[in-house]
Amino acid sequence: MKFRITCALLSMLAVACKPPRMETFEKNRDIPRQEWLTAYQPSFEVELAPEDTAFYYNIYVNVRHTDAYPYNNLWLLIRTLTPGDSTAGVRRVELPLADTYGKWLGNGLDDIFEHRIPIQQNALLSKPGLYRFSFEQNMRQDPLPYVMSVGLRVEKAAPRK
């Protein structure tokens, strides 16, 4: 009887010690003094286990700004370093923050607006290991005022076939 209880406890302990599989990663970084300098490039690290590579992922950029933000969009340089690579890939993306009439597209509360903007749907993250993403604001104004925070969200979309 004691042997069965010990085996059951050890089995539960072994299952409990496994690292959780990545379903969603989300992290936001505050912009110092709400003035985003091009030199400030927030970075994010996402760790994928081998079994996580059997899925597609949706990737989003989170942006939080005040109503005083002077533009209807935000241009970013997104650098991505994949496991085993020594050089990051760079991609320039436009994030729409307002419609053509100047109405903010995100969710707002008082004078603060939050956006979750898709930058890649059904992304293939095929290598296990550490993925590093960094964001550089790529607007003409430096520093870029009234940006409160920026972040990354990576969520599991569907199994690969």
Q: What is the mean pLDDT of residues 83-87?
A: 93
Instruction: Report the chain's mean pLDDT, rounded to a whole number.
Output: 90
Q: How many domains does the chain have?
A: 1
Q: What is the mean pLDDT of residues 92-102?
A: 97
Domain housing 110: 23-159
Question: What's 98's DSSP letter?
Answer: B
- Is residue 15 in a domain? no
With bands split at pLDDT 50, 70 and 90, how would you rate the model's confidence at 4? low
86: amino acid identity, one letter: S
Please give the span between the terminal C-alpha atoms of the chain, in angstroms, as a whole number: 45
CB 92 within 8 A of CB 77: yes
- Is residue 4 in a domain? no
Condensed to tens digits (0 to 9), the pLDDT of residues 133-155 reads 999 999 999 999 999 999 999 99
Q: Show contacts of 119-122: CB within 8 Å, 24+ apart.
A: 119/59, 119/60, 119/61, 119/78, 119/93, 119/95, 120/57, 120/58, 120/59, 121/58, 121/157, 122/56, 122/57, 122/58, 122/157, 122/158
CATH number of the domain encompassing residue 135: 2.60.120
- Is residue 5 in a domain? no
Q: What is the mean pLDDT of residues 3-19?
A: 48
